[in-house]
Amino acid sequence: MLEIRNLHARLEDGREILKGIDLSVGDGEVHAIMGPNGSGKSTLAAVLAGREGYEVTEGSVSYRGRDLLEMPADERAREGIFLAFQYPVEIPGVNNTYFLRAALNAQRRHRGEPELDAGQFLRTVRAKLKVLDIGDDLLQRAVNVGFSGGEKKRNEIFQMAILEPRLAILDETDSGLDIDALRLVARGVNGLRTADRSIVMITHYQRLLDYIEPDRVHVLQDGRIVESGDKGLAGELERRGYGAFAEEPEPAGTA
């Protein structure tokens, strides 16, 4: 699904953030990328989604056999990549339903499928609303405007449910959520796990992984993956802290 090789990226001001990332995500796998603040987690998500303001200086990213870095952001999304934003953007005046239908229809056009009209679209989304406990009223409001932190994050996962991506990147989707909201979001994500959909979760805390069980866990430190392991690695991180991985990477489970 996703092959990242020796990925280096820097900000426009020249600061290098990613210093050689290697990561391979197979079909249907769920990977967690954990790391302290400033380790490059969100930069990795941004570079994969195609956000402007980052320059890839070295390395490659291949997505389903294609060079991902060649594609503009909107094409990546139409090819099945979904980024759940850490800070979903408020867009006054743009109705949530209108936005979602435009997004879904852009993807359907791309796949050569007929577009959905307003009625067809509403029928499609109604069922998915229930899973995430999202009210109808949220559909009629402007995108993320006046949404609580939890509503914004649920709205992200709701979008993921509608767009049915092949590869979802969840950027700190757990941040700012209380335990009930976290459970709802996790239920939403777990409901979307399939054999051909891969998920990359980026998180600071192990908490999310109690609800969404990853196949692989990676520790990101200073722009590099310094440790990879199974879900047990997350527990170890929780006990020992990121500091234990700062210098010489140790094999998992030695503590």
Partner 1 sequence: MSAVLDFPVKPEARDYLACFAADPNEPAWLGERRRQGITRFAELGWPTRRNESWRYFDVSRIDQMRPAKPPAAAGEDAARKRIDAVAFAGAGQRIVLIDGRFAPALSRIESRPGVWLGSTAEAIRKQPESARAVADTALPHDSEAFDALNAAFFSDGFVLHIGPGIAVEDPIEIVHLATGISEASLHTRSVVALDGGARATIIETYTGDEGRYWRNDLLAVRLGEAAELQRVVLVEEAAEAVHIDGVSASLGAKARFAEFVLLLGGRNVRHETSAILAGDAARCEIDGGFVVSGRDEANIVTTIDHAKPRGETRELVKGVAAGRAHGAFQGRIIVRPDAQKTDAHQLSRNLILGERAVIDTKPELEIYADDVKCSHGASVGDLDAAALFYLRARGIPEAEARRILVEGFVREAVEEIADPDLREHLLQRLQRRLAALEE
Strands 216-221 and 30-34: parallel
Q: Which segment (17-25, 86-94, 173-181, 188-196) binds partner 1 by CB under 8 A? A: 86-94
Task: Pick the stretch among 11-19, 68-76, 209-217, 245-253 that binds partner 1 (CB under 8 A).
Answer: 68-76
Amino acid at 213: E
Binder of partner 1 out of 106, 116, 244, 252 (CB under 8 A): 106
**Cβ proximity to partner 1, 41 vs 76, nearer residue:** 76
The yes or no reply on residue 141 touching partner 1 (CB under 8 A) is no
- Site for partner 1 contains 102 (CB under 8 A): yes
Rounded CA-CA distance 90/73 in Å is 19
Q: Can residue 107 be called a binding residue for partner 1 (CB under 8 A)?
A: yes
Rounded distance between C-alpha atoms, residue 183 and residue 178, angstroms: 9
Is residue 214 classed exposed, middle or buried when 0-12, 13-18 and 19+ CB atoms within 10 A define those classes? buried
Q: Rounded to the nearest whole angstrom, what is the least distance from the CB of residue 162 to partner 1 in the complex?
A: 10
Check binding of 179 to partner 1 (CB under 8 A).
Answer: no
Q: Which of 56, 69, 94, 244 contacts partner 1 by CB under 8 A? A: 94
Radius of gyration, CA atoms only, the chain:
18
Sign of CA dihedral 157, 99, 83, 193: positive
Count of alpha carbons within 13 Å of 219, Cβ hemisphere only? 29
Under the binding rule (CB under 8 A), the answer on residue 77 touching partner 1 is: yes
| Interaction residues for partner 1, span 158-177 (CB under 8 A) | 159, 163
Determine if 50 is a binding residue for partner 1 (CB under 8 A). Answer: yes
Angstrom distance (rounded) from CA 236 to CA 232: 7
- The residues binding partner 1 (CB under 8 A) are 49-52, 72-74, 77-78, 82-83, 85, 88-94, 98-100, 102-103, 106-107, 110, 142-143, 159, 163
